[in-house]
């Protein structure tokens, strides 16, 4: 399968590597290829510059958002910063998005006033809904946004059962994303379909408590588990 991964941060890198390991042909999209490759310093988490990381993975290709989105068929994965997601998708171009499935992992965290970040939008809207309204022919599926990047592609890092949420309007698109999640290692009984894209408000609003749990636990390798009776 041809897949576009939009974003070059930790999430984009983790998703791109896993997709490649699964045999998919991946193009990573960025706003400015030259600027991305020119970065020489580690990021704020200590990860190596993207050019160094990419040199060690010759099967991966870096291109513009538009070129990557054009390559991705039928799947595009939005791993951009949530505050930049709309502009990234606009740069990708509606024609390159039309009719495709978008796995939206981004969270609309606003760091403009420092830590902890706030959410924008929140309560009465979500980033996933904004994307779906702006690109009505795109099949948006929100998932994987409530955990850290390593856990997204390797759920075994947390012992026992734990939950990945799915939101979206298109049943066929959610079924395709479900196949991808199972390929990532998620057990079917741990994939919880919350309903339409409006339910993404709830999963995006988990981020404030997720960030505080990270601080309290001293590790990002944890997840939410929904325990049902019966």
Domains and CATH numbers, the chain: 2-217 (3.40.50.720)
Can you give the pLDDT at residue 114? 84
Q: With cut-offs at 50, 70 and 90, classify the pLDDT of residue 1.
A: very high
Separation CA 92–CA 97 (nearest Å)? 7
Other beta carbons less than 10 A from residue 208's beta carbon: 15
What are the pLDDT digits (tens) for 171-225?
999 999 999 999 999 999 999 999 999 999 999 999 999 999 999 999 999 999 9
Can you give the pLDDT at residue 154? 98
Work out whether the CA dihedral 7, 29, 142, 16 comes out positive or negative: negative
Q: With cut-offs at 50, 70 and 90, classify the pLDDT of residue 39.
A: very high
Q: With cut-offs at 50, 70 and 90, classify the pLDDT of residue 44.
A: confident
Can you give the pLDDT at residue 96? 98
210 and 146 in contact (C-beta within 8 Å)?
yes
Can you give the pLDDT at residue 113? 84
What are the pLDDT digits (tens) for 107-166?
999 988 888 899 999 999 999 999 999 999 999 999 999 999 999 999 999 999 999 999
Nearest to 166 by CA among 128, 133, 213, 123: 128
Can you give the pLDDT at residue 229? 87
Can you give the pLDDT at residue 83? 96
Can you give the pLDDT at residue 115? 84
Average pLDDT of the segment spanning 57-84: 97
What are the pLDDT digits (tens) for 6-30?
999 999 999 999 999 999 999 999 9
Residue 230 confidence (pLDDT) above 80: no
Average predicted confidence (pLDDT) for the chain? 96
Residues with Cβ within 8 Å of 101's Cβ and at least 6 positions away in sequence, in order, are 74, 75, 76, 139, 141, 170, 173, 176, 177
As given in the structure block, the two tokens for residue 129 are 């809904």
């Amino acid at each position: 399968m041809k897949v576009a991964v939009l974003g070059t941060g930790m999430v984009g890198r983790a998703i791109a590597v896993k997709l490649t390991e699964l045999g998919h042909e991946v193009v990573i999209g960025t706003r400015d290829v030259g600027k991305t490759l020119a970065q020489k310093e580690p990021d704020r988490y200590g990860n190596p510059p993207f050019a160094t990381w990419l040199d060690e993975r010759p099967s991966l290709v870096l291109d513009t958002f538009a070129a990557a989105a054009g390559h991705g068929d039928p799947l595009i994965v939005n791993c951009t910063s949530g505050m930049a997601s709309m502009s990234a998708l606009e740069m990708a171009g509606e024609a390159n998005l039309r009719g495709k499935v978008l796995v939206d992992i981004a969270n609309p965290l606003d760091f403009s006033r420092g830590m902890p970040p706030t959410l924008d939008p929140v309560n009465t809207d979500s980033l996933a809904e904004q994307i779906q309204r702006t690109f009505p022919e795109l099949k948006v599926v929100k998932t994987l946004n409530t955990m850290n990047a390593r856990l997204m592609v390797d759920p075994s890092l947390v012992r026992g059962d734990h939950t990945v949420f799915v939101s979206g309007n298109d049943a066929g698109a959610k079924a395709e994303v479900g196949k991808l999640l199972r390929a990532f290692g998620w057990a079917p009984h741990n994939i919880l379909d919350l309903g339409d894209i409006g339910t993404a408000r709830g999963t995006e609003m988990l981020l404030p408590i997720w960030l505080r749990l990270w601080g309290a636990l001293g590790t990002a390798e944890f997840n939410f588990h929904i325990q049902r009776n019966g």
